[in-house]
């Protein structure tokens, strides 16, 4: 079997999401699928950048293997976070999955233009939501081959 | 022609019978008789009959001449004919006499003459040469008829016709929906021309401020008017035009300086020599005014009546303008409130989705995790909660679809209906496969519209046909017929059908036919269809009977 598929799931995922209920829902879905390694959570855009750049309280933060990014966030919105990550030489290789309730074409286009690796609209039903989260985790953390850090 | 009547009279008739040659005396008597006869005719004529020498000296003067011109024979004979010629007509006499010398005759020449009392009259003149026994021209006879009354009647007719022409022009302009400014300009032009006025203005009262808005002013008024702040003049009604507005009555004066209603004019204002104005009234309400000044002649009653008629017309134009403005305002506010409502529906349904997603997700999670860990009641309650949340989600999705028809519409473009149908069928694949439905179709045309909306329209109708199926597997056929002004599409099924009394209801929002347990539905799908068809300028209807299938038809007009 291909080495990448057999590789152990990369541990750290950063969830940037301001809704506690959504965070819990994502975690529950990941737990049920057995793919939840260590998920870190920040609830605003500024904290996300501090985490990624290991600034302030996040000096010891791990480097995430995947970022799940909501678009509507306090302090700095998801588009700005995306733009900063993708224009930062050190961070731009980290895959960013946009996970949002917006299904506006405009948001989809903007996000891909800014360098998003994937855009997903949060499914409305729980079962569908769980399926999407599981497949995202499976794809990005096990199937996709990413550069070694 | 002064003459003496012959005193003796003999019986000429008796002598004529004798056959003897007439005597000189007798011939003279006969001639005198003829002259007397002619003189009598001349004397009793209504027309003025005058003779004059070739240099224009009056020789004879009948009583008709006295009646028409006011001079007696004693006063006129021996005086030059020019005493009858008014200013401005001096050239006529030499020309006439010249023609007479050439032996020409002047027939029914219409001109003006002046009476002894200075009043001008209209006359029709016929002038002929007078020859002596040798045939030499020695003078002229001039027969004049007073045609002043006829002329006046003619002028009155012409005036009436001018007014009628003006009113016809204005009515045409009003019918053609001309703007109030244009109407004002036309009213002013006709008013000035009918009354020979040099200046004028026409305007209306702003119903909100009560200010006077003179939409037109003779252009030269502004050029010659040196009043500093022209706007100020119209805040308070002043002077004679203010009197008209305040009293709602017309005003006419040929000597404003002596009129107590005049307050003079502001410094720099064109001097007002004569003034005429009439208010435009709608019932008791003052809505505007037509005002005129400085004609070359005095204003007369007929000027006043013309201006009153124009003011009446102008009131109608103002009424029309107000009605149009009101209509436009209502349309605008309706459009705005419609827009607000659409925006509200969109935002509300969109924003409700998020919290609802949480409720639905967590009750579902509860159901999954605790199904067998709680008692029977708990299971029932959770099931109801899951079901309610799920139906709520369907409703909100439907509402969002409905508000998106106008909120997220694309500009119209050519839409290949076969491709739209394929997309609709792809979206419906699961339910088509599950039900074993067979969907067939005619060749479908290309129409002008919104591709996504046409797809949704077909998808909703076919989806309904599959959902409301009878006992047999659903058979759905999509047909299309080209009509004069577009295409009519029909989606026919073999489903449960619709009772006639429900054919209108089903297109209304949240209306559902049948009980909840029978069919799952939100009652929005057909409302969305109706909205899409209406946005495309078409019509949607259903032909059906309960138990015999239904046929939903919609038209998409040609663009």
Average pLDDT per block of 10 residues along chain B, 559 residues long: 47 53 83 85 86 90 91 91 88 85 88 90 91 89 90 88 89 80 87 89 80 64 51 57 83 83 68 88 88 89 90 90 88 86 78 86 88 85 86 82 75 89 90 89 89 90 87 89 87 84 77 55 82 90 80 88
A122 vs B contacts (CB less than 8 Å): 357
B365 vs A contacts (CB less than 8 Å): 25, 28, 126
Question: Which regions of B147-254 does DSSP assign to beta strands (E)?
Answer: 197-205, 212-217, 251-253
Chain A from 77 to 106: CB within 8 A of any B CB: 101
pLDDT of amino acid A36: 57
Number of Cβ within a 10 Å radius of residue B97: 19
Element (H, E) at B556: strand B550-557
B364 vs A contacts (CB less than 8 Å): 125-127
Domains, chain B, ranges and CATH?
45-146 (3.30.450.20), 167-408 (3.30.450.40), 410-557 (3.30.565.10)
pLDDT of amino acid B512: 67
The alpha-carbon gap from A19 to the nearest alpha carbon of chain B, in Å, equals: 10
A21: contact with B, CB 8 A cutoff: yes
Are the beta carbons of B361 and A122 separated by less than 8 Å? no
Interface contacts A/B by beta carbons within 8 Å: 31
B393: contact with A, CB 8 A cutoff: yes
Which of B358, B365, B390 has the CB atom closest to A28's CB atom?
A: B365
Q: A15-139 falls under which CATH superfamily? A: Response regulator (3.40.50.2300)
Phi, psi of B460 (to 5 degrees): -65, -45
Which of A28, A124, A127 has the CB atom closest to B357's CB atom?
A: A124
pLDDT of amino acid B513: 63
Collect all residues with Cβ–Cβ distance below 8 Å to B430 and sequence separation of at least 6. Answer: none
- State the best of A126, A127, A130, A133 to mutate against chain B, taking most chain B CBs within 10 Å: A126
Are the beta carbons of B393 and A28 separated by less than 8 Å? no
Query: Which residues of chain A, if any, have pLDDT below 50?
Result: 1-9
| Separation of alpha carbons B66 and B17, rounded Å | 43
Domain residue extents for chain A: 15-139
Are the beta carbons of A101 and B357 separated by less than 8 Å? yes
3-state secondary structure A2-30: CHHHHCCCCCEEEEECCCHHHHHHHHHHH
pLDDT of amino acid B54: 87
């Amino acid at each position: 079997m291909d080495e990448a598929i057999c590789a152990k799931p990369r541990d750290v995922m950063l969830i940037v999401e301001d809704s506690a209920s959504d965070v819990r829902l994502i975690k529950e879905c990941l737990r049920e699928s057995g793919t939840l390694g260590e998920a870190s959570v920040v609830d605003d855009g500024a904290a996300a950048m501090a985490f990624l750049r290991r600034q302030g309280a996040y000096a010891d933060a791990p480097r995430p293997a995947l970022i799940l990014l909501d678009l509507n966030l306090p302090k700095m919105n998801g588009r700005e976070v995306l733009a900063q990550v993708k224009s930062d030489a050190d961070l731009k290789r980290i895959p960013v999955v946009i996970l949002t309730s917006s299904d506006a074409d405009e948001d989809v286009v903007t996000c891909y233009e800014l360098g998003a690796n994937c855009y997903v609209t949060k499914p409305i039903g729980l079962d569908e939501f769980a399926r999407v989260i599981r497949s995202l985790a499976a794809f990005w953390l096990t199937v996709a081959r990413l550069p070694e850090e | 022609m002064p003459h003496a009547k012959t005193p003796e009279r003999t019986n000429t008739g008796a002598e004529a019978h004798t056959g003897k040659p007439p005597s000189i005396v007798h011939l003279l008597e006969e001639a005198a008789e003829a002259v007397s006869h002619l003189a009598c005719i001349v004397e009793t004529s209504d027309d003025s009959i005058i003779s004059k020498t070739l240099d224009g000296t009056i020789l004879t003067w009948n009583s008709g001449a006295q009646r028409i011109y006011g001079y007696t024979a004693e006063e006129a004979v021996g005086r030059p004919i020019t005493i009858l010629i008014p200013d401005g007509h001096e050239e006529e006499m030499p020309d006439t006499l010249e023609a007479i010398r050439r032996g020409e005759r002047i027939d029914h020449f219409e001109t003006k003459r002046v009476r002894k009392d200075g009043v001008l009259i209209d006359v029709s003149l016929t002038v002929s040469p007078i020859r002596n026994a040798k045939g030499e021209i020695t003078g002229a006879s001039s027969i004049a008829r007073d045609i002043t009354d006829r002329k006046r009647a003619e002028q009155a007719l012409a005036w009436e016709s001018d007014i009628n022409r003006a009113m016809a022009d204005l009515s045409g302009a009003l019918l053609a929906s001309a703007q109030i400014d244009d109407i004002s300009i036309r009213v002013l032009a006709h008013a000035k021309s009918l009354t020979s006025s040099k200046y004028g203005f026409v305007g209306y009262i702003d119903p909100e401020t009560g200010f006077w808005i003179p939409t037109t002013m003779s252009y030269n008024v502004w050029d010659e008017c040196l009043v500093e702040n022209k706007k100020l003049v119209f805040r308070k009604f002043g002077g004679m035009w203010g009197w008209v507005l305040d009293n709602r009555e017309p005003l006419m004066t040929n000597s404003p300086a002596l009129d107590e209603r005049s307050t003079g004019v502001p410094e720099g204002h064109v001097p007002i020599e004569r003034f005429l104005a009439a208010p435009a009234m709608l019932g008791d309400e003052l809505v505007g005014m037509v005002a005129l000044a400085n004609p070359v002649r005095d204003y007369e009653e007929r000027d006043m009546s013309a201006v009153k008629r124009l003011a009446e017309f102008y009131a109608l134009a103002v009424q029309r303008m107000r009605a149009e403005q009101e209509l436009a305002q209502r349309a605008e506010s309706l459009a705005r409130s419609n827009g607000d409502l659409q925006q509200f529906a969109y935002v509300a349904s969109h924003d409700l989705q998020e919290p609802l997603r949480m409720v639905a997700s967590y009750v579902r999670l509860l159901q999954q995790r605790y199904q067998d860990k709680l008692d029977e009641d708990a299971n029932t309650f959770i099931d109801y909660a899951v079901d309610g949340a799920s139906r709520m989600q369907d409703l909100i999705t439907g509402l969002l679809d409905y508000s998106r028809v106008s909120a997220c519409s694309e500009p119209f473009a050519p839409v290949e209906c076969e491709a739209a149908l394929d997309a609709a069928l792809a979206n419906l694949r699961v339910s088509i496969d599950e039900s074993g439905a067979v969907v067939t179709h005619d060749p479908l045309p290309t129409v002008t519209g919104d591709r996504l909306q046409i797809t949704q329209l077909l998808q909703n109708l076919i989806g309904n046909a599959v959902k409301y199926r009878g006992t047999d597997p659903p058979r759905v056929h999509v047909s299309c017929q080209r009509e004069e002004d577009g295409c009519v599409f029909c989606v026919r099924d073999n489903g449960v059908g619709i009772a006639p009394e429900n054919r209108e209801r089903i297109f209304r929002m949240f209306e559902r036919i049948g009980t909840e347990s029978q069919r799952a539905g939100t009652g929005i799908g057909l409302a969305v269809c109706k909205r899409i068809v209406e946005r495309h300028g078409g019509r949607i209807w259903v032909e059906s009977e309960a138990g015999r299938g239904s046929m939903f038809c919609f038209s998409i007009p040609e663009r």
